[in-house]
Amino acid sequence: MKIHNYSAGPSILPQEVFKKSAEAILDFNNSGLSILEISHRSKDFVAVMDEARALAIELLGLEGKGYQALFLAGGASLEFIMAPYNLMKVGGKAAYLDSGTWASAAIKEAQFFGETVIVASSKESNYNHIPKGYTVPSDADYFHCTSNNTIFGTQMKEFPSLDIPVVCDMSSDIFSRVLDFSKFDIIYAGAQKNMGPAGTTLVVIKEEILGKNGRAIPSMLDYTKHIKAESMYNTPPVFPVYAALLTLKWIKDKGGVAAVEKLNIAKATLLYSEIDRNPLFKGASVVEDRSTMNATFLLNDEEHAPIFDALWKEAGISGLPGHRSVGGYRASMYNAMNIESVQVLVDVMKALEGKI
């Protein structure tokens, strides 16, 4: 039976990435060595790292615009620390938009470094929408936002144009839609949603914003040192970077981010249309802020849950239960999920309607 993987992460990846990764585990580049055992300083892996960094910049449309791409360890959670360490001045302040669990976690880390202004929050409504109409202090050292809120199923559709650096956590929607990425000065994203297996984090930085905060920064947390070392300051996560490169190549072969976005819109439209049509279900987030990556929805009557759960499990669906913060269900439709799998879930929802 085909399994339809709706896990929020680590998540579905393209089948060809699994296949090529498996081949590399046995024999990488006909070297007789596994990708798991090669030196990160070897010619073959340096080529992987260089290509992955360059392809990330290309797919984001940032070539020739002064950006550097890094593949680091520590996940987005470490970037919650690295961003303020590198950007917040001594005695300075930063501005944050509180739109979900991970945005809140980033705020807590920034507070160790200085004044942290929360420009707006949707916490009072359990983060079911993206705050709007807020003002970002012009004297802040930077503004931080989270583009997509995996747990709550919300996504920023617009971003402010500011005269201060803009930092964005794009962990769960990187490479899923076309944006003017030059509006951002730092973009970071854990790989385990749209880009590869867990274990590496993509960080894209406009280099000119660094070195201006007056802080002494520990070497492993200093973006400038990682840039100078071309993402090889210490031993990088070799296999996750290789799998990320394969995934980036897959995106390019699909036609790039614009082509992938069209597929993502089609998948989200199919599922949200059924959520809105079917009287047994309701969406968990406000309509205008719905995420194309993570659709959160609830049963109108929880007594129907045992029947629905049996139906989707029988259909080969995996990873559908929602986060405990929201309850209900969460269908994560990352780039690698095909529309046929979304149709299976829609058919199951229709089948429940026929049984009630």
Catalytic residues: 102, 169, 193
- Of 72, 67, 77, 76, the C-alpha closest to 205 is 67
d(CA 127, CA 116): 20
Output DSSP code: residue 321: B
Half-sphere exposure of 228 (CA within 13 A, CB side): 8
Which 3 state secondary structure label does DSSP give 262?
A: helix
The residue to which tokens 């280099």 are assigned: 207
The alpha helices in 28-111, defined as continuous H runs, are: 43-59, 75-87, 101-110
Contacts of 339 by beta carbon, 8 Å cutoff, 6+ apart:
263, 266, 267, 270
Could you tell me where the beta strands, DSSP code E, fall in 24-171? 67-72, 93-98, 115-121, 143-146, 148-149, 154-155, 166-169
By the 8 A CB rule, do 158 and 182 touch? no
Which amino acid makes up residue 259?
A
